[in-house]
Structure 1
């Protein structure tokens, strides 16, 4: 299989307009999955617009996989309720970093390397830019949750090292 030499840092920043799954609110948490790696945020009690600001590390390899996330409402006495899911292809992020590296482009701080628009490869709520920041390739995204009436999750994704070819 692939060489797992790449490092991806994913920050779950916040959620907005999440659906109600309890009486008047929800107790949301996010589960991130990349291949066979899984991470989970803390539960935010009674909150439909939670702020997590939690960072998780994932190793990435070739072929580059899709980052999946699911949002759940924590319940005490029964199974946790689903609050939506989303996915994001990491291919544009990795391709931008590789192209910059191959071409030897010296990017200045804040240089936009690529723009990504909402399509079937992602659940973007709006256009997203892949930017060169502090020597890292960074993408800030708002993902629209699927299979629910409302809800978006904001992520900040940093590619620290590229996976080897």
Structure 2
């Protein structure tokens, strides 16, 4: 798995299949890398809010072992599991098992927002006890493809 600005320099052209990760990871990993490289992340929590996905039910109905799987997407805010923390640990090995990510699927068609809280190893305060960082997701898959092509 490779992300521009995080670990793209580790790409080798002997690989036949690569992954650019998810939108959540492309939002979280670059910010986590900057904070970790400059301040050190001890641990962190991220909450992401996603739109309805294709795998969710359209109406409430019995389903599987998890109660969340039986909730209709257009009527509910549904907590879900994610592999985002594990994926960030793959592209930034020093953060493996240091982050926890929670996902909420909301009844809307196209939205994704993220909120993160990090316990840093050093002070990065805007005031005595407050830090504010604003970040967003920008799909860098085309940049990754261009980088890979330059290595041919």
TM-score exceeds 0.5: no
Higher helix share: 2
When the two structures are superposed, what TM-score results if normalisation uses the length of structure 2?
0.28
When the two structures are superposed, what TM-score results if normalisation uses the length of structure 1?
0.26
When Rg is computed on C-alpha atoms for both structures, the one with the higher figure is: 2
